Chains A and B, each alone.
Chain A
Amino acid sequence: MNKRAIQVQLGIGACVVCVFLILYAIPYWISAPSNMRNIVLSPRFWPYAIAGLTGLVGVGMLFANRKANADDAPVNDPIQDPRAGLIRLAGMAVLMAVTFWLLPRIGMVWATMLAFASLAFLVKTRHPKTALICALAVPLLLYVFFAHVAGVAIPQGEFVRLP
């Protein structure tokens, strides 16, 4: 992606967000008292102002892009295999979703141990033994600190409970 493509996509995106906010999100997702006498005191006033400014910035981006010189150089550093990169990103999204789902079910310690090991596996660490030791030790140490020093009620889950 070059600078121009980024600017165009962001400009269009900002305009779409502006229209969506003004026409749908703010009227339907923000409740305001029906007897509002002064618009500036309404709970909708501030979001409308932000939506309007977003639209202006979007238009500004499109306008600035029209005046800018063509520059086809990619703005992000290239990676060796973008397809594998996308698969890893999808894996990361799944990892986060599963961790979030597991946190209340099996407990934070076990869920984060799994998350640690899975992430190290996902990025193909060259130190699998160290990763495994850290995957066990780091969540346990953090549990000890937060549960026994800070007094935080770390979720224990429904299966194996720690002291």
Chain B
Amino acid sequence: MSVIDSIMAGLALVGNVEAIVSLAIGIVIGVIGGAIPGISATMAVALTLPFTFPMQPINGILLLLGVYKGGIFGGSIPAILIKTPGTPASSATVLDGHPMAARGEAGRALGMALWASCTADLISNLALILFAGWLASFALSFGPPEFFALILFSLTIIAGVSGESLLRGALAALLGLLLATIGLDLVYGTNRFTFGDPNLMGGLNFIAVLIGLFAIPEVINMVWNPTGHIGKVQALGGKWVTFAEYKRCFRSIVRGSFIGVFLGAIPGIGAAPAAFLSYSEARRKSPNKANFGKGEIEGVAASEAGNNGVAGATLIPLLALGVPGDVITAIIIGAFMVHGLQPGPMMFVMNVDIIYGLFIGLIFSSGLLLIVGGLAIRGFKPVADIPKRILMPIVLVLCIYGVFAVNNNIFDVGVMFVMGWVGFVMSRYHIPAAPFLIAFILGPLLEDNFRKSMLMSGGSPDVLLRGPITWFFWALTLIAVLAIARGTLDKARDKG
């Protein structure tokens, strides 16, 4: 199929009202979810996932991608208006966004956040379209040893999402790997931790685990401390961002977008570091560097460009290699699986129409984000005023219906409840949930490819180093491990 044919096939899939409406609804849900502190883009994607089951695969995935992109921008609204980032990615936006809001320029800050987000989103989507196909064609020559080396390298993602302690992140990942072994053995079909229960033979349901881990702990946290409240909402003010200001910040926006694209394409780094790096680069290069931290509009533009630049780029490893770029794309993998699609190089051969449909939909998403975001800025106050003690029971009921709907199985609801308590205990012990989820997804792939490699070679480990591709990934893994070890030692030395 030529590129033109592929584009036409993609257009045939998304060139209809249903697809565009799915994307727009996704962006609305994302912006609202991201704008409510305590919901976050991650939880919004997890909660929306079950609603995609009856949809066409392309529409369902576009809906989730809309939630993802809307959620990243939505997080900037409470960051600016109430000094509470809706998502971790918006932490850098607080630095200049809230001081602007405090002096009555919230509308100006939010307007710049929106424009910077849309510009960065567009650049990120173009990077995805340019690089994903190329990477996938390269990955078509991968066999089990190459995939094993790649997934092993991808597990170094865990260092990026471990937060304050690498060891706690590693512990979470090991727990995820352990729970992923539940079910029938991949090669011999023997029981592993199934206790003779047929419900466990297929392993723990991925959606039940992820919703249990990301949504239910928020409900339990609210039960533990129901009076945790959000801050005072600032007024928008009369001033709005001008085109001249956008032009002045354009260099920082483009620079931040490329930083986001670069960091987003590397699995595990995520949006928050990209936002901070983009912010610090903008401050370093800006003639107004003294104003940064006191309400400089360029600071808002740079941090929002950094975090939104990540949103398209994290889909590069997802679509091309089948490896999630961050936690949200790990959840989106679940949507692909539910719809019978396996992201990775083969998808560029078997489902090229869906790939191009997604590309076209993503280009539309930047424009839709501009429209929806503009409306959301004006409508934020009622969203912020939803009482949390009404919101969390709604989340609980949504989770029950959503998890049941995956397999029509009440057992999955029980798994979700148990995982909710596991997630709550993990949060009390400051064990990050993201490494758990990533290891839970990658664990079976890692084991499967390892054992296939061993079967191919009759048990000889030499097969794991059989050619330049495996050497390349082993070298990357080594470099990543050394960088992580060095970073950990430096941190320990700084503290000591």
> Which A residues contact B (CB, under 8 angstroms)?
1, 6, 9-10, 14, 21, 25, 29-33, 37-38, 40-41, 43, 46-47, 50-51, 53-54, 57-58, 60-61, 64, 67-69, 75-77, 79-80, 85, 88-89, 91-93, 96, 99-100, 103-104, 108, 112, 115-117, 119-120, 122-127, 130-131, 134-135, 138-139, 142-143, 145-146, 149-155
Given contacts A64-B492, A89-B220, A153-B408, 19 further A-B contacts (CB under 8 A): A1-B428, A32-B188, A33-B190, A40-B451, A41-B455, A43-B187, A46-B450, A47-B178, A54-B178, A67-B492, A85-B224, A88-B226, A92-B220, A96-B420, A116-B396, A123-B222, A124-B226, A131-B390, A149-B54
Measured CA separation A89–B222 after assembly (Å) = 10
A116 touches B397 (CB 8 A): yes
Contact A9 to B408, CB < 8 A, known contacts A64-B167, A119-B223: no
B225 touches A120 (CB 8 A): no
Min CB gap B186→A, angstroms: 8
A50: B residues at CB distance < 8 A: 174, 177-178, 181
8 nearest A-B pairs in the assembled complex, by CB-CB distance: A150-B54, A43-B185, A38-B459, A123-B226, A125-B389, A119-B393, A31-B190, A116-B393
Min CB gap B435→A, angstroms: 12
With beta carbons under 8 angstroms apart, the residue of A57, A80, A131, A153 that contacts B227 is: A80
Min CB gap A44→B, angstroms: 8
B54 touches A138 (CB 8 A): no
Is B410 interfacial (CB-CB < 8 Å)?
yes
Measured CA separation A99–B416 after assembly (Å) = 12
Min CB gap B39→A, angstroms: 16
With beta carbons under 8 angstroms apart, the residue of A91, A139, A145 that contacts B51 is: A145
Measured CA separation A3–B401 after assembly (Å) = 38
> Which B residues contact A (CB, under 8 angstroms)?
51, 53-54, 167-168, 170-171, 174, 177-178, 181, 185, 187-188, 190-193, 195, 219-220, 222-228, 387, 389-390, 392-394, 396-398, 400-401, 404-405, 408, 410, 413-414, 417, 420-421, 428-431, 447, 450-451, 454-455, 458-459, 461, 492, 495-496
Interface centre among A64, A91, A119, A134 (most CB of B within 10 A): A119
A77 touches B225 (CB 8 A): yes
B429 touches A30 (CB 8 A): no
Measured CA separation A115–B397 after assembly (Å) = 8
Measured CA separation A77–B221 after assembly (Å) = 11
Min CB gap A71→B, angstroms: 9
**Residue of B with least CB distance to A46:** B447
A33: B residues at CB distance < 8 A: 188, 190
A60 touches B400 (CB 8 A): no
With beta carbons under 8 angstroms apart, the residue of A6, A41, A124 that contacts B389 is: A124
Measured CA separation A112–B413 after assembly (Å) = 12
A47: B residues at CB distance < 8 A: 178, 181, 192
Which secondary structure characterizes the binding site on chain A? helix
User: How many A-B contacts are there with CB distance less than 8 Å?
Assistant: 186
B450: A residues at CB distance < 8 A: 40, 46
With beta carbons under 8 angstroms apart, the residue of B190, B404, B495 that contacts A43 is: B190
B397: A residues at CB distance < 8 A: 112, 115-116, 138-139, 142
29 intermolecular pairs with C-beta atoms under 8 Å apart: A1-B428, A9-B429, A25-B193, A30-B192, A33-B188, A37-B459, A38-B458, A41-B187, A41-B451, A43-B187, A43-B190, A43-B192, A47-B192, A64-B492, A80-B227, A89-B224, A96-B420, A103-B410, A108-B400, A108-B401, A112-B397, A123-B389, A127-B390, A130-B390, A134-B393, A139-B401, A142-B397, A152-B405, A155-B410
Min CB gap A56→B, angstroms: 9
B421 touches A125 (CB 8 A): no
A53 touches B174 (CB 8 A): yes
Interface centre among B222, B224, B417, B451 (most CB of A within 10 A): B224
Min CB gap B28→A, angstroms: 17
**Residue of B with least CB distance to A80:** B227
Min CB gap B207→A, angstroms: 13
Measured CA separation A38–B408 after assembly (Å) = 39
A123: B residues at CB distance < 8 A: 222-223, 226, 389, 392
With beta carbons under 8 angstroms apart, the residue of A1, A32, A99, A130 that contacts B400 is: A99
A29: B residues at CB distance < 8 A: 191-193, 195
A75: B residues at CB distance < 8 A: 430
Min CB gap A52→B, angstroms: 10
B226: A residues at CB distance < 8 A: 88, 123-124
B223 touches A89 (CB 8 A): yes
With beta carbons under 8 angstroms apart, the residue of A37, A57, A85, A96 that contacts B417 is: A96
Min CB gap A35→B, angstroms: 11
Measured CA separation A50–B396 after assembly (Å) = 33
With beta carbons under 8 angstroms apart, the residue of B192, B393, B430, B454 that contacts A120 is: B393
